[in-house]
């Protein structure tokens, strides 16, 4: 006798959409509140600001969503942003064509990520340890190469990546949107995405069915590195200067956004839509505090408060329903 039930409840699905719905709800309320409080908030100029600022964080957060859902963490992204930006700056000043320099810079991000991935998967060192080391290493290289000085004076076409106009929106918004779509497809429809989750869910299980863990695990960090490389490109283009301090401590904001979005630090689950909403929410909070002229002290307080609250709520619900191990 067999009963096969095709259409079944999916507790986890319900749960995750709850967390996202909650965040979305907070976002909507916040937007409504800010709109009612300030005439400057709900203007196209300001919305564009918010989207523009969100897109940088979002691109990094997408890479981080992959890393965290695989049970790892990448603390080096801020430093990769700086170093790939500097590489682009040096190449531009050496007369390398813009498009080549841009691509090489993004690629360098991938290489720096591959170095992390190699150490993590080959020597089985915890990602926290490896990336806390490379965070310092890459930042150090940036400072040494530049002697602490920003690099600037690039050809005029270069600012397109950060500030060009595509109708009413900027390239970073387009790039971020494309990255979100790509990440969605990867997670949903490819082995790469599914294995990323399984590495977080049960790495040993994946190894036992004969999957090349080292390859997939390293490639997660390559992806994160590429995301950081793209942000390095955009940031350098936007500032029209490559700074050794670019992206300093950026990783904490990004990790916060990913966690807030509902991706579990334990790995195994990813919530891409949560990451998107969380990034927008954090940008709106920062922007809102500026618009309302509220001291920066409250920014930290407020963001910390939302993160702890949201994470606690979804963990409690999770715990109640899913007894794993």
Partner 1 sequence: MKGKKIVLMLLVVIMVMSLFVGCADNTVKSDAAENTEKKETETAADSEEMNPKIKEMETILMNQLDPMPEIGKGENVGVLIISLTNPFWVNMKDKYEKAAENLGITVEVLSAPTEGDTVSQLETLDGMAVKDYDSIILSPIDGNNLIPGIIRANQANIPVINLGPGVNKKALEEQDGHLDGIITVDFMNQGKMVAEDMLNYITDGGKVAIIQGLAGAGQSEGRTNGAKEVFENTEGIELVSIQPGDWDRNKAYEITTGLIQAHPDLKGIFACNDVMALAAVEALEVAGLNDQVVVYGVDFTGEAQESISAGKLDGSITYSPSVYTKAGLLLALKISQGQDITEPVYCPLAIVNKDNVNEFNGWE
Partner 2 sequence: MSMVCTSDEFVYLENISKSFGKLEALKNVSLKLERNKITSLVGDNGSGKSTLIKVLSGSLKPNNGTIHINGKAYKHLTPKIANENGISTVYQDLSLDNYKDAVGNIFLGKEVTKFGFILNYNEMQKQTEKLLEKLEIDIPYLRTPVGYLSGGQRQSVAIARSIFQGKKLIIFDEPTAAMGLKESIAANKLIKSLPSKGFTVLMISHDLNQVFDIADRIFVMRNGEIIKDAVKSDITLTELKAGISEIY
3-state secondary structure of 64: helix
Tokens of 122: 């080959």
Q: Rounded to whole angstroms, how far apart are CA atoms 225 and 107?
A: 8
206 contacts which partner out of partner 2, partner 1, none, CB within 5 to 8 A by kind? partner 2
234, with CB counted inside 10 A (0-12, 13-18, 19+), is buried
Q: Confirm or reject binding of residue 215 to partner 2 (CB under 8 A).
A: no
Scan residues 234-273 and list those touching partner 2 (CB under 8 A).
Answer: 268-269
Q: Smaller CB distance to partner 1: residue 140 or 211? A: 140
Q: Confirm or reject binding of residue 117 to partner 1 (CB under 8 A).
A: no
Please provide the distance, in angstroms rounded to a whole number, between the alpha carbons at the two ends of the chain.
30
User: Given candidates 39, 123, 209, 293, which one binds partner 2 under the rule CB under 8 A?
Assistant: 209
3-state secondary structure of 80: helix
Q: Rounded to whole angstroms, how far apart are CA atoms 120 and 116?
A: 6
Q: Confirm or reject binding of residue 27 to partner 1 (CB under 8 A).
A: no
Q: Rounded to whole angstroms, how far apart are CA atoms 232 and 111?
A: 14
User: Given candidates 99, 129, 294, 322, which one binds partner 1 under the rule CB under 8 A?
Assistant: 294
User: Given candidates 177, 194, 245, 273, which one binds partner 1 under the rule CB under 8 A?
Assistant: 245
How many residues comprise the chain?
A: 325
Q: Rounded to whole angstroms, how far apart are CA atoms 146 and 218?
A: 29
Scan residues 223-242 and list those touching partner 1 (CB under 8 A).
Answer: 235, 238-241
User: Given candidates 163, 207, 214, 269, which one binds partner 1 under the rule CB under 8 A?
Assistant: 163
128 contacts which partner out of partner 1, partner 2, none, CB within 5 to 8 A by kind? none
Q: Confirm or reject binding of residue 204 to partner 2 (CB under 8 A).
A: yes
Residues near partner 2 (CB under 8 A) are 1-6, 8-12, 188-191, 194, 197-198, 200-202, 204-211, 268-269, 321-325
């Amino acid at each position: 006798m067999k009963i096969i039930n095709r259409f079944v409840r999916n507790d986890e699905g319900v749960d995750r959409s709850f967390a996202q719905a909650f965040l979305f709800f907070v976002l909507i309320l916040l937007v409504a509140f800010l709109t009612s409080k300030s005439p400057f908030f709900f203007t196209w100029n300001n919305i564009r600001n918010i989207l523009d600022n969100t897109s940088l964080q979002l691109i990094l957060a997408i890479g981080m969503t992959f890393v965290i859902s695989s049970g790892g963490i990448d603390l080096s992204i801020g430093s990769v942003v700086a170093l790939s930006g500097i590489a682009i700056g040096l190449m531009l000043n050496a007369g390398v064509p813009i498009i080549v320099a841009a691509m090489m810079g993004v690629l360098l991000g991938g290489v720096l990520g591959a170095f992390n991935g190699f150490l993590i998967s080959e020597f089985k060192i915890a990602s926290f340890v490896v990336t806390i080391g490379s965070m310092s290493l890459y930042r150090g290289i940036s400072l040494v190469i530049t002697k602490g000085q920003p690099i600037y004076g690039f050809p005029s076409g270069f600012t397109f990546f950060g500030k060009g106009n595509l109708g009413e929106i900027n390239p970073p918004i387009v790039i971020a949107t494309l990255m979100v779509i790509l990440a969605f497809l990867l997670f949903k429809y490819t082995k790469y995405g599914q294995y990323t989750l399984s590495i977080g869910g049960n790495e040993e299980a994946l190894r036992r069915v004969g999957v090349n863990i080292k390859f997939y695990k390293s490639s997660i960090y390559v992806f994160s590195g590429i995301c950081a490389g793209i942000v390095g490109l955009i940031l350098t283009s936007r500032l029209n200067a490559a700074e050794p301090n670019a992206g300093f401590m950026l990783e904490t904001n990004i990790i916060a956004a990913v966690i807030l979005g509902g991706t579990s630090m334990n790995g195994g689950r990813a919530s891409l839509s949560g990451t998107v909403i969380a990034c927008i929410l954090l940008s709106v909070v920062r922007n809102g505090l500026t618009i309302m002229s509220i001291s920066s002290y409250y920014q930290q307080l407020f963001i910390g408060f939302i993160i702890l609250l949201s994470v606690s709520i979804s963990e409690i619900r999770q715990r109640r329903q899913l007894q794993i191990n």
